[in-house]
Amino acid sequence: MKEEKNKKNIFLNLIITIVFLVFLIIVFMIAPNYEKTDTYDNSKINLIINNNNVTRKLKYNLFVNDKNVIYMSKDDIANYFDKYIFFEQSTNEIITTYGEKVGVLPLNQNIVKINDSPVNILSGAIQKDGIYYLPITAMSKVYNVDINYIKEEKILTLDSLDKKLIKADMSKSCNVKYINTFFSKTVDKVKEGEKVICIENLDNNWTKVRTQKGYIGYVKTNTLTNEIYIRNEIKKEERKNKINLVWDYYSEYSSAPNREGTSIKGINIVSPSFFSLIKEGNGEIKTNIGSKGISYINWAKQNNYEVWAMISNNSYKDTTSKILNSYELRTRLINNIVSLAVQYQLDGINLDFENMNSKDKNMYSRFIIELKPKLQEAGIILSVDVTAPDGSENWSLCFDRNIIGDVADYIVFMAYDQYGVGSNKAGTTAGYNWVETNLKKFIDREEIDSSKIILGIPFYTRLWEEKNGKVSSSVVNMKSVKEVLPENINKRWDEELKQYYVEYTGSEKIYKMWIEDAESIRHKVSLVNNYNLAGVASWEKDRETENIWDVIDETLNKKN
């Protein structure tokens, strides 16, 4: 009898243990479905950006003033909307850019200037406890978002108007779950006929939705009906063909070249030197177009070439510095550029600022950040020329290539003058290995999207003279190389530089030349395909040999 009782007790204990273990397993399975990492906090304003609850990731809490205007910190706006948002000390204004808009908010003024047009708002930008705050509920036109504040729930939703939006009706009342399982907490309840925003469909069983109260969770897909696309995602149209640009330079004392009746095989963009800064000017632009420039534009259009007019700072270091460091002058120059581009129906602007103070690097970036939206609004492409990242004070360290490559439509690497006029050693103008090494720096170190890089190549080289330890050089155009070199001279191919090298003596001097020709250009242009670059830009028209356009076109369009 006692033995039987013990057996029953053991069996009972075993059953209890099994039940307890099953209970623990269920608890451990369900518990994650009740996590609070992405839930709502009714002690503060919750922020939903494009159907993501970012409340817990905010650096500073949102707050609302007595006019029901909700404020968001400048730091958080930098994180979610405009990483280049900037406080302009000279004017006591916050400047923010997004897409086609430049928004300027003077502190403690109930106004926002959007692309220079003032708009009255209930409450302006403020400083509180040393932190700058923007009235986020007044920024819909700047950031191109739909803003909705559900006061009862303390939830603010921001939806980008260029992203997909799908709505549906509930076919029956149900609970909205925290994650896609019935063993999950309920975040909201929806009624039959109520509209929800559809975020993501999961295996046709569950759909992630956002309710009218602003809560995000999951409902069974079969409870949704009457799905409607409110808007589709707007994607930037990508260029189908590789860029083949040629700079068509002429000095400010000359007129645009007459190209009527001619064409250039393979090219799709010309960049004439139409504009330049005025020395000691305040953002005014010297134009060099005239009737011949108009004829040039007409010729380009007839040949289906885009016109990306070049604007140069003429290496006016002091003038450039003065403009860059003044918001008023930057804005004046920007508006002048946009006005001229619209006036002459240009397709793009090629910004060629060189010889700048390295200390002005950040302000040059600011200039580009503020220029890009206004050009974009007018449908005009922005390309920016930069040198190799070699450490030269005024010719290299003056560029923040990462920001320029991020903001501009294209960044143009002027891959030449590896050894230039100031060099105390003879060398190549653009050796293949040097060009490739610096391209890798652009992509890897500067973190620039390779598809935004245009490779600049030279249609010239240098003839070097060495005598008594002294070195000098003179520019030789590609088409003039044969005329400059002695007849029947021996050329030696340099596999590392991928160009021919010649050396000879005469008049007690040693002459050296690293030749730019069809073969050297072919190898450099091949880097465009090897690294998936945007294309090539050639400096400059009328220095080339006749066959070079075939070489560039064939190499750019070569199928791997």
| 101-124 pLDDT per residue, tens | 999 999 999 999 999 999 999 999
Contacts of 64 (CB under 8 A, 6+ apart): 45, 70, 71
| 175-184 mean pLDDT | 92
pLDDT digits 0-9 by tens, 360-383: 999 999 999 999 999 999 999 999
Domain spanning 46-158 has what CATH number? 3.30.457.10
Amino acid at 129: D
pLDDT at 429 over 80: yes
pLDDT at 24 over 50: no
When the candidates are 1.10.443.10, 3.40.50.2000, 3.40.50.880, 3.20.20.80, the CATH number that belongs to 243-458+516-556 is: 3.20.20.80
pLDDT at 26 over 90: no
The phi and psi torsions of 470 (rounded to 5 degrees) equal -100, 145
pLDDT category at 238 given cuts 50, 70, 90 is: confident
Distances (CA, A) of 438 to 420, 430, 449, 476, 541: 17, 11, 14, 24, 25
Report which of residues 252 and 285 the model is more confident about.
285
pLDDT digits 0-9 by tens, 462-501: 999 999 989 999 999 999 999 999 999 999 999 999 999 9
CA dist 454 and 383 (Å) reads 9
pLDDT at 27 over 60: no
Task: Supply the pLDDT for residue 9.
Answer: 62
pLDDT at 433 over 90: yes
pLDDT at 435 over 80: yes
Long-range contacts of 370-373 (CB under 8 A, 24+ apart): 370/95, 370/97, 370/102, 370/330, 370/331, 370/334, 371/334, 371/337, 371/338, 372/97, 372/407, 372/408, 372/409, 373/97, 373/98, 373/99, 373/100, 373/101, 373/102, 373/115
CA dist 443 and 432 (Å) reads 17
Task: Supply the pLDDT for residue 471.
Answer: 97
Task: Supply the pLDDT for residue 3.
Answer: 58
| Mean of per-residue pLDDT scores for the chain | 94
Q: Residue 161: left (phi > 0), alpha (psi -120 to 50), or beta?
A: alpha
Domain spanning 164-231 has what CATH number? 2.30.30.40
Task: Supply the pLDDT for residue 560.
Answer: 60
SS3 (DSSP) at 431: coil
Equal CATH topology for 46-158 and 164-231: no
The structural domains of the chain, with segments of one domain joined by +, span: 46-158, 164-231, 243-458+516-556
Report which of residues 172 and 8 the model is more confident about.
172
pLDDT digits 0-9 by tens, 291-300: 999 999 999 9
Residues 383 and 111: beta-carbon distance below 8 Å: no
Question: For the whole prediction, is pTM greater than 0.85?
Answer: yes
